[in-house]
Amino acid sequence: MIPISVFREGVGLQAGDENDLKLLRLTVINLWENLTKRLWNTRSAHVQYINIGHRTSTTQSLWLDLWPVSDLTKIEQRDADEDWATVDSDEYVQQGRRQVVRKSSSNFRFWKHFVRVTYDGGTDEASEDIQLALITQAKFMRTRLSKDQITMQSQNFEGGAGVMLRADLHPFFKTLVQTHKRKS
């Protein structure tokens, strides 16, 4: 999603800080994926379980979490009382970057109640604005977790008691998360 060299340069960690750099990079990417409710980072042999439920005219399409999809390895399906059965590759087609449509030679068919898809997908390099947001959030987290913490708001009450409020997300990062958040 963001090359380690770009991340290193943006965050400002030196070559000797390799473990810290990798941990910070994965932490920020995981935070991004959790908040956008989408998988982004490249994965191989990713297994996605899809519960179709009741069959309707809309269940001939599957929408995969990772995109773009680079390789559909295997699709299996079953109903509640059955074992997993592999679907022949000529019975489905990939459309667009993340949609898989069930078909036959004469008409469209429907998926069974439960589908298991094994595939490769995700992005090695996100757009520049997302990479900048990840770097900005990583810098923000390093500053926020250091000894010299950022105070976003300080409130004092009578008697000298105070409350320190700290933001967990940089505003730029938070805005892009809202922009790229999965709607459904």
**How does the average pLDDT of the chain come out, rounded?**
83
Average pLDDT of 88-93? 90
Domain ranges of the chain: 4-39+131-180, 43-121
pLDDT digits (tens, 9 = 90+) for 148-182: 555 555 555 565 555 555 568 899 999 999 999 98
Name the token pair of 101.
């449509």
Q: How far is CA 133 from the centre of its chain?
A: 15
- pLDDT recorded at residue 152: 52
Q: Please determine, for residue 1, whether its predicted confidence score (pLDDT) is greater than 60.
A: yes
Distance CA 97, CA 91 (A): 18
Where is average pLDDT lowest: 27-36, 83-92, 105-114, 158-167? Answer: 158-167
Position with higher pLDDT, 102 vs 175: 175
Residues 114-136: tens digit of each pLDDT: 999 999 999 888 999 999 999 99
Q: Report d(CA 2, CA 70) in Å as an integer.
A: 18
Q: Is the pLDDT of residue 106 over 80?
A: no
Whether 173 and 129 have beta carbons less than 8 Å apart is answered as no
Grouping H, G, I as helix, E, B as strand and the rest as coil, residue 5 is helix
- Neighbouring residues of 66: CB distance < 8 A, sequence distance ≥ 6: 39, 40, 43, 46, 48, 98, 119, 121, 122
Cα 173 to its chain centre, rounded Å, is: 15
Better-predicted residue by pLDDT, 13 or 114: 114
Helix, strand, coil share (%) of the chain residues, nearest 5:
35, 30, 40
Give yes or no for residue 113 having a pLDDT over 70: yes
| pLDDT (0 to 100) of residue 17 | 77
Write down the pLDDT at residue 86: 95
pLDDT tier for residue 29 given thresholds of 50, 70 and 90: very high
Helix (H) or strand (E) holding 127: none
Measured between its terminal Cα atoms, the distance across the chain in Å is: 22
User: For position 184, what pLDDT does the model report?
Assistant: 61
Q: How far apart are CA 90 and CA 81, in angstroms?
A: 25
Q: What is the pLDDT of residues 39-79, one digit of tens each?
A: 888 999 999 999 887 655 445 788 898 888 999 999 999 98
C-alpha torsion angle, residues 125, 126, 131, 133 (rounded to 10)? -160
